[in-house]
Every structure is written in C-alpha cells, then in structure tokens.
Amino acid sequence: MDPEQRRREWLERLQAMREIGAIEASDENALIRQYDERAQRLREELARIAPEYLRRVDSDGEDEAKRWLAETAEAMGRRDGEETRQALAAATRNHA
C-alpha cells in the first residue's frame, strides 16, 4: 500500500470514530497532525538507514545486512504502532 493510500485510510478511520462520537473534532485534528509527524520521522529515518544498509552489505554481506534491516524495520514498526496506540488511547480517554 502506498503512503497516500495509507493516509487516506487513516483519515477515514478517524472520521468514522468522530462520527460515532468516539473522538472530538479537535482530537481528530491532533491525530492527523501526529500521523503526519510520524510519517515524516519515518521518511527521515529511512533516509538514514539506507547508507548504513549499503555499508553493511559491503562489510558483512547481503544476508547479514538483510537480517539487520529486517530487525531495524521491525523495531521501527513496533515503535510507530505503540505511538499510534498511545495517541488513540489519549484521544478516546479525553473524550470519555
């Protein structure tokens, strides 16, 4: 899924949450901002990872570099997921 499609789906989910009263409009706007900030951080992080991956291919071999990349990507995904959960929990707690 491309980043724009992922963002559209996120916006649709937030709108649905607002429509059922799970979050306020201000929460929706804050969650959109947080999503965009996380996406920008991810792009920046990926730009830093690419040169390190290439360095590891040269020094450790492709298989080892791929293992490192998989571990790094998994950690990034976990961190992003946790940040998303925390933001949603805060928004729904504020509304309750």
Write out the two tokens for 6. Answer: 């992922």
State which H helix or E strand residue 48 sits in. Answer: helix 25-60
pLDDT for position 63:
98
Percent of the chain surpassing pLDDT 90: 79
Statement: the pTM of the whole predicted model exceeds 0.85: no
Residue 84 and residue 15 in contact, taking contact as beta carbons nearer than 8 Å: no
31-44: average pLDDT: 93
Write out the two tokens for 9. Answer: 């789906």
What residues does each domain of the chain span?
Answer: 3-95
What is the DSSP code string of 14-47?
HHHHHHTTSS-HHHHHHHHHHHHHHHHHHHHHHH
80: pLDDT strictly greater than 80: yes
94: pLDDT strictly greater than 80: no
Q: What count of other Cβ atoms lies within 10 Å of the Cβ of residue 65?
A: 18
